[in-house]
């Protein structure tokens, strides 16, 4: 008998409590306990009805995903749910926290569902590359209609309790204590001889004859490359077209196909990896953290403004400093505009706009920063400017304040030396747009103190970011790998490929856009400035001039000038190949004495991706990233690497490290270019027949 689930009588109502921290996941012991306690409740003559509830933070938040890939152990969740549904006593699910996946499916096996206002329900299985496999695709359409069920299941997002009430997923919101409210609700039902409500007996309504084909078309672009969303549609279709038991069989078939798919393996890997990155190897879990109650951002430009918004969104007061009044006013106006646009989309209320703006305190004086706990500098990417800012911060900030730089490529150790307190300095590299992109590369300097690292990693989560700890090198992890890929992409065009062909290969792999469309979006001048800075600082190692430099010098900066590597029509972000650029590339080849040749898609894929895999291996060897999963999470959350491929190094394992190593060695022999010198780690893994993940 499992001790993870207990039964007790509260007056004349039986209470079944799940207690399996942290999220009451429906592991084998919980499933077993749920069945045993249900049977106990049915045998208990004093129990007129039953209530199921979760102890701790939440109603069961889903199947125990740590069990996936292991031999299944009974009782199977669909059977547990079916037994609750077959109960001849009324069962009420009492929901708080997040009743997700199998948790909501258990609740759908109950006759009624009540919830506290703050609760959320949902079927997020699609985000793990699977689908609700315990009847969710068959019961939810019967309860709320096929259209609404599709929206919940295919998006996989949580539904707030009040919206769940409106949809009919929840029957009543409980204002006070959840258990008390659920007991009262159950007593009222029992007293009124309320009927059992088995969802399996309902008919799933399909409001529109073309619902499923239209829905599939509506998600085709966004869900490109994923498998699960399309299987979800098929499962819901079965709910409408088949009797319940046949629909359940169809659900199980579709679930089984997805469970073993490479996409789902990758997505489950990412689920755990994005949590694992928060656990820094070698940093004791109980490392003290500094209190962060007041923050400041230096610079009210695009990055500074976006960074400030993250703190205001999390309810943390944030000062924003500019040295010029008009720049400060402009920055504040842009922040307000961003919030108002979000409010227009209904994602926040007008009041929330005001509340967040009130937390953003503009200032022109460094002296105002004497009370802040953390400062993030987001000024021009130039060492002299950084030096001036950090000298000032060192002068005005209180002892113990953390001084962070948002630099994307400059040396954090050198910046730390501009202060008397290098142990309090670290990098917090936000990705543009800073208020949108989830990735935060936290850059640990040589002298950064442990508690500063622990504080910043914890703060990342507080502001809704996925914080990854990285070391100091040019470009840290993400941009260091990106620069190698960009250089390879340019070289491929020099040799004969077109920018559009290179972009299509990587778009087809699953990136949201190819290297050149990405440069046009970020602005061609960004890369140009970095290359020019490198040419000034380290001429021997800087990248040679190339045709993209000429584009910038001709004012073709990308989307912002409606012309970059591609042309852009007014108000349209679709990249259009440009004959002017083709001519410029041809001229460049001629000047370089390059005879253009046919370049295959396969060669483009190998050279753009394997150069990143090799760089990732070097990054791991140098300790710039601690684990392969840190590199993978960075590429998924910073550059849109497709989740259904798990990350650059997870994908490398699917290709085969040996295959990649052989190609990297071949390219190294052919080009003599150090970028293709195989990393020792890559060679060792290849020789041992292993992958990055074992």
* Cβ proximity to ligand T1G, 23 vs 500, nearer residue: 23
Can you tell me which of 62, 304, 558, 691 binds ligand T1G, judged by CB under 6 A?
A: 62
Residue matched to tokens 């591609």:
566
Our answer to whether residue 533 is catalytic in this structure is no
H/E stretch holding 267: helix 262-276
Binding of ligand T1G at residue 520 (CB under 6 A)? no
Of these residues, 32, 85, 105, 615, which one is catalytic? 105
Of these residues, 10, 67, 85, 125, which one is catalytic? 125
Compute the distance between CA of residue 545 and CA of residue 531 in angstroms, rounded to an integer: 9
Binding of ligand T1G at residue 64 (CB under 6 A)? yes
| Size of the chain, expressed as the number of residues it contains | 694
CB of 180 to ligand T1G, least distance (A): 25
Binding of ligand T1G at residue 101 (CB under 6 A)? yes
Binding of ligand T1G at residue 63 (CB under 6 A)? yes
Binding of ligand T1G at residue 77 (CB under 6 A)? yes
* Cβ proximity to ligand T1G, 32 vs 392, nearer residue: 32
Compute the distance between CA of residue 471 and CA of residue 453 in angstroms, rounded to an integer: 12
105-to-22, 42, 142, 199, 258 alpha-carbon distances in Å: 19, 20, 13, 11, 18
* Cβ proximity to ligand T1G, 136 vs 499, nearer residue: 136
Q: Which residues lie across from 288 on neighbouring strands?
A: none
Can you tell me which of 14, 33, 102, 646 binds ligand T1G, judged by CB under 6 A?
A: 102
Sole window of 7-15, 60-68, 175-183, 577-585 interacting with ligand T1G (rule: CB under 6 A): 60-68
∠ Cα 136 140 142 (to 5°): 125
Binding of ligand T1G at residue 136 (CB under 6 A)? yes
CB 191 within 8 A of CB 162: no
Compute the distance between CA of residue 146 and CA of residue 135 in angstroms, rounded to an integer: 14
Site for ligand T1G in 262-281 (CB under 6 A): 275
Can you tell me which of 52, 80, 95, 134 binds ligand T1G, judged by CB under 6 A?
A: 134
Binding of ligand T1G at residue 459 (CB under 6 A)? no
Ramachandran quadrant class, 214 (left: phi over 0; alpha: psi -120 to 50; beta: rest): alpha
Binding of ligand T1G at residue 60 (CB under 6 A)? no
Our answer to whether residue 125 is catalytic in this structure is yes
Q: Which residues lie across from 375 on neighbouring strands?
A: 296, 403
HSE value, Cβ hemisphere, 13 Å, CA-based, for 503 = 18
Binding of ligand T1G at residue 81 (CB under 6 A)? no
Binding of ligand T1G at residue 141 (CB under 6 A)? no
Sole window of 37-45, 97-105, 526-534, 584-592 interacting with ligand T1G (rule: CB under 6 A): 97-105
Q: Which of 264, 110, 120 minimizes the C-alpha distance to 196?
A: 110
Sole window of 129-137, 417-425, 435-443, 446-454 interacting with ligand T1G (rule: CB under 6 A): 129-137
Say if residue 172 is exposed, middle or buried (CB neighbours under 10 Å; 0-12, 13-18, 19+): middle
CB of 104 to ligand T1G, least distance (A): 8
3-state SS, one letter per residue, for 360-389 = EEEECCHHHHHHCCEEEECCCCCHHHHHHH
* Cβ proximity to ligand T1G, 54 vs 102, nearer residue: 102
Q: Which residues lie across from 388 on neighbouring strands?
A: none
Sole window of 124-132, 239-247, 393-401, 448-456 interacting with ligand T1G (rule: CB under 6 A): 124-132
CB of 55 to ligand T1G, least distance (A): 15
Can you tell me which of 16, 34, 50, 100 binds ligand T1G, judged by CB under 6 A?
A: 100
Compute the distance between CA of residue 275 and CA of residue 269 in angstroms, rounded to an integer: 10
Residue matched to tokens 């001790």:
3
CB of 4 to ligand T1G, least distance (A): 13
Compute the distance between CA of residue 439 and CA of residue 19 in angstroms, rounded to an integer: 33
Judged by the rule CB under 6 A, the positions of this chain that interact with ligand T1G are 22-23, 25, 61-66, 77, 98, 100-102, 105, 124-125, 128, 130, 132-134, 136, 275
- The residues assigned a catalytic role are 105, 125
């Amino acid at each position: 008998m499992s001790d993870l689930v207990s039964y007790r009588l509260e007056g004349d109502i039986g209470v079944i409590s799940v207690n399996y921290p942290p999220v009451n996941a429906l592991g084998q012991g919980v499933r077993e306990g749920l069945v045993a306690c249900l049977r106990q409740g049915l045998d208990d003559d004093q129990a007129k009805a039953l209530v199921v509830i979760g102890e701790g933070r939440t109603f069961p938040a889903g199947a125990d995903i740590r069990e996936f890939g292991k031999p299944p152990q009974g009782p199977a969740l669909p059977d547990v749910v079916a037994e609750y549904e077959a109960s001849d006593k009324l069962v009420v699910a009492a929901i708080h926290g997040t009743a997700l996946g199998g948790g909501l499916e258990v609740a759908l096996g109950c006759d009624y569902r009540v919830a506290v206002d703050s609760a959320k329900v949902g079927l997020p299985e699609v985000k793990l590359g699977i689908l609700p496999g315990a009847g969710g695709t068959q019961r939810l359409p019967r309860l709320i209609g096929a259209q609404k069920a599709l929206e919940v299941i295919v998006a996989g997002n949580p539904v707030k309790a009040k919206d769940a009430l409106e949809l009919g997923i929840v029957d009543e919101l409980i204002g006070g204590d959840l258990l008390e409210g659920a007991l009262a609700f159950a007593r009222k039902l029992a007293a009124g001889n309320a009927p059992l409500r088995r969802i399996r007996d309902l008919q799933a309504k399909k409001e529109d004859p073309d619902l499923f084909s239209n829905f599939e078309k509506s998600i085709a672009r966004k869900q490109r490359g994923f498998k699960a969303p399309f299987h979800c549609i098929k499962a819901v279709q079965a709910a409408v077209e088949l009797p319940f038991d046949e629909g359940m069989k169809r659900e199980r078939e579709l679930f089984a196909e997805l469970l073993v798919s490479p996409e789902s393996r990758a997505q489950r890997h990412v689920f755990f990896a994005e949590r694992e990155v928060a656990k820094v190897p070698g940093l004791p879990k109980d490392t003290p953290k500094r209190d962060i109650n007041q923050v400041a951002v230096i610079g009210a430009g695009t990055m500074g403004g976006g960074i400030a918004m993250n703190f205001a969104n999390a309810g943390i007061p944030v000062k924003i400093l500019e040295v010029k009044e008009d720049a400060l006013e402009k920055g504040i106006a842009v922040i307000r505009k961003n919030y108002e646009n979000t409010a227009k989309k209904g994602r926040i209320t007008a009041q929330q706009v005001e509340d967040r703006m009130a937390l953003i305190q503009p200032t022109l004086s460094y002296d105002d920063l004497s009370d802040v706990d953390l400062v993030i500098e987001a000024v021009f990417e130039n060492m002299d400017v950084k030096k001036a800012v950090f000298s000032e911060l060192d002068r005005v900030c209180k002892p113990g304040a953390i001084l962070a730089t948002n630099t994307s490529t400059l040396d954090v150790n050198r910046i730390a030396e501009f202060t008397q307190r290098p142990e309090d300095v670290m990098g917090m590299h936000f990705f543009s747009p800073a208020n949108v992109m989830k990735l935060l590369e936290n850059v640990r300097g040589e002298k950064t103190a442990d508690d500063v690292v622990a504080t910043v990693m914890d703060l990342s989560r507080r502001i809704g970011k996925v914080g990854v700890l990285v070391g100091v090198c040019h470009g840290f992890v993400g941009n260091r790998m990106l620069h190698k890929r960009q250089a390879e992409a340019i070289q491929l065009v020099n040799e004969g490929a077109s920018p559009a062909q290179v972009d299509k290969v990587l778009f087809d792999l699953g990136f949201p856009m190819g290297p050149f469309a990405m440069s046009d979006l970020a602005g061609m001048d960004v890369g140009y400035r970095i290359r020019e800075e490198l040419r000034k600082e380290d001429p021997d190692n800087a990248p040679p001039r190339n045709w993209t430099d000429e584009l910038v010098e001709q004012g073709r900066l990308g989307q912002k000038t409606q012309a970059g590597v591609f042309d852009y029509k007014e108000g349209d972000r679709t990249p259009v190949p440009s004959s002017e650029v083709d001519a410029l590339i041809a001229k460049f080849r001629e000047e370089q004495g390059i005879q253009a040749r046919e370049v295959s898609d396969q060669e483009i894929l190998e050279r753009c991706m394997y150069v990143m895999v090799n760089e990732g291996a070097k990054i791991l060897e140098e300790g710039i990233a601690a684990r392969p999963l840190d590199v993978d999470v960075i590429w998924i959350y910073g550059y849109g690497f497709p989740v259904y491929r798990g990350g650059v190094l997870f994908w490398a394992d699917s290709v085969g490290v040996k295959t990649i190593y052989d190609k990297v060695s071949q390219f190294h022999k052919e080009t003599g270019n150090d970028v293709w010198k195989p990393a020792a780690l890559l060679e060792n893994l290849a020789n041992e027949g292993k992958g990055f993940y074992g």
